[in-house]
Chains A and B, each alone.
Chain A
């Protein structure tokens, strides 16, 4: 351990909300629900998450914690063959197109994707 490491400042200890954006809450809840469904053990989850939060380039202030969380969930689900990355990429793009095509104030539905094929 370098001496330099000792001086890394801790983020401020303010009482921030549990989640700063709704998707973080959803990613968290998906993980809890899938674990309860028996798709993975909590140890498997913790190890996958650990690899992400220890990857180079993560924010010192912990602000990208749920980005790490979501990457870990995607990797675990891809490894289990439940949600291959290619499928997630395609569907995410479809959701973004659907959102863009949905008038303000209306619920965003995947059906609103202009490129949707039936």
Chain B
């Protein structure tokens, strides 16, 4: 090849690292057996990289803050209330919404592995999947919250909810003071991912 662009002096051969090669091997076998369609795999990747994320959950929370009927529905049957906004789980899991109050702060963990409400929060952050969070959230939730910069009044109880493959939790944080009359859209901007896992609070109104 004499007319190569000289954008790279080294011209390495391609290399696949061992993990990438193993995934390709699985894809080859599964495609040959007709168990997967490579185009469908690309769609799933695109969905989770770009379309599903905590903004979904933020819109659920903002609606619950402004619409008491919706909040009541969310409390009774979160799976259906959330699905009504177009967010449905792919694993047939049930959702439960847990509402923070001045008496009780809720925090979510998965001690089993990394079960997480994908449909409303996207995929979990690295710390959620880490062994220290999975063990310490249960043993010492107040200490974990402190590391996230959250200090709650001592009279506020902390309840930790352990997710499973079948049941995932969405924390509904308390509505920040001074947001009366705000639109759902503006309120949603105050709802952070961590506030819906319970390791944070909603942002304060500016």
Q: Mask for B99-143, Cβ within 8 A of A = 1, else 0?
A: 000000000000011110000001101111111110110011001
What residues of chain B lie closer than 8 Å to A79, measured between beta carbons?
Answer: none
Instruction: Confirm or deny: B152 has a beta carbon within 8 angstroms of a beta carbon on chain A.
Output: no
Give Cα A92 to B90, complex, Å: 29
Give the distance to chain A from B52, nearest Cβ to Cβ, in Å.
Answer: 9
Chain B interface, number of residues (Cβ within 8 angstroms): 65
User: Which chain A residues border B84 with CB–CB below 8 Å?
Assistant: none
Q: Please tell me if the beta carbons of B21 and A96 are within 8 angstroms of each other in the complex.
A: yes
Asked if A62 contacts B130 (CB within 8 A), the reply is yes
B202: min CB distance to chain A, Å: 16
A110, B40: Cβ atoms closer than 8 Å: no
Q: Across the two chains, which residue of chain A brings its CB closest to B130?
A: A62
Contact of A88 with B13 in the complex, beta carbons under 8 Å: no
| A32-B44, A46-B164, A101-B13 known; A82 vs B21 contact (CB < 8 Å) | no
* Minimum CB–CB distance for A62 against chain B, Å: 3
Q: Specify which chain A residues have a CB less than 8 angstroms from the CB of B139 in the assembled complex.
A: 1, 5-6
Contact A18 B127 (CB under 8 A): no
Chain A contact surface mostly: helix
Q: Kindly list chain A residues whose C-beta atoms are within 8 Å of the C-beta of B132.
A: 8-11, 60
Given contacts A33-B36, A50-B113, contact A6 B143 (CB under 8 A): yes
- Shortest A81–chain B CB gap in Å is 11
Q: Are A18 and B13 in contact (CB under 8 A)?
A: no
Q: Could you say which residues of chain A place their CB within 8 Å of the CB of B41?
A: 26, 29-30, 33
Instruction: Please state if B114 and A53 are interface contacts (CB–CB under 8 Å).
Output: yes
Interface residues of B (CB under 8 A from A): 1, 8, 11-30, 33, 35-37, 40-42, 44-45, 48-49, 90-93, 112-115, 122-123, 125-133, 135-136, 139-140, 143-144, 147-148, 164-166, 194, 199
**Would you list 18 pairs from A and B whose C-beta atoms are within 8 A, ordered by A residue?**
A5-B135, A6-B139, A6-B143, A10-B132, A11-B132, A13-B148, A21-B20, A26-B27, A26-B45, A29-B44, A49-B114, A54-B131, A61-B126, A70-B19, A73-B26, A82-B33, A94-B25, A95-B28
